[in-house]
Structure 1
Amino acid sequence: MERKKGGRPSKGDRRLVSYKLPTALLAAVREHAARRGMTVTDLIGELLAAEVGIPYQTQEGLPLGKAS
């Protein structure tokens, strides 16, 4: 029998990046992302990609039936 992996499905080749921002800036980024209906990760990814000229592919949300 093949064993199933736990956790959510992969969203592609990604690396965890940790950073520190001033509290007010982080709050503004979170609000801006929420207004646009996107994650903070995708907002930051889009902004950085535009700055350096590399296309950014947003993460796909999980189907509601598969979310825990």
Structure 2
Amino acid sequence: MAIQKRARGGRPSKGDRHVLTTRLPVADAEKLFAVADHQGQSASEFIAHAVAEKLAAIDMTFVSGQEELPIGRIAS
């Protein structure tokens, strides 16, 4: 007897995701839920989009924590 594959409903996968948890003040959370609902998004989608926008504006070369060594000044 062949194993049947279960039908999967719902939305297609959005790919690998990492679950994050945060705590917001109640007033901010209520505003977030209202805005996300108005835009037809879940709160999770709204937060993911807002974080992606913020991260896109950050230059990662300054975040790496490593600086260039001043070898040119020492060698001369």
> Is TM > 0.5 for Structure 1 vs Structure 2?
yes
Segments ≥4 residues shifted beyond 2 Å: 1-11
The TM-score, its normalising length taken from structure 1, stands at 0.63
The one-letter code matched in structure 2 to 1:35 is H
Q: Percent identity?
A: 26
Pairwise CA RMSD: 2.3
CA radius of gyration, larger in: 2
2:41 to 12, 22, 38: 38
Q: Relative contact order (C-alpha < 8 Å, sep 6+): which is higher? A: 1
Asked if 1:13 is matched to 2:16, the reply is yes
Structure 2 match to 1:2: 3
User: Structure 1 pair 16/3, CA: closer, same or farther in 2 (3 Å)?
Assistant: farther
Using the TM superposition, give the Cα deviation of residue 2 of structure 1 relative to its aligned residue in structure 2, in angstroms. 2.7
Using the TM superposition, give the Cα deviation of residue 17 of structure 1 relative to its aligned residue in structure 2, in angstroms. 1.1
Asked if 1:24 is matched to 2:58, the reply is no
The one-letter code matched in structure 2 to 1:18 is T
The one-letter code matched in structure 2 to 1:17 is L
| Pairing 1:50-61 to 2, within 5 Å after superposition | 50-53=53-56
Q: For the residues of structure 2 that align with 1:26 and 1:20, how far apart are their CA atoms?
A: 9
Using the TM superposition, give the Cα deviation of residue 45 of structure 1 relative to its aligned residue in structure 2, in angstroms. 0.8
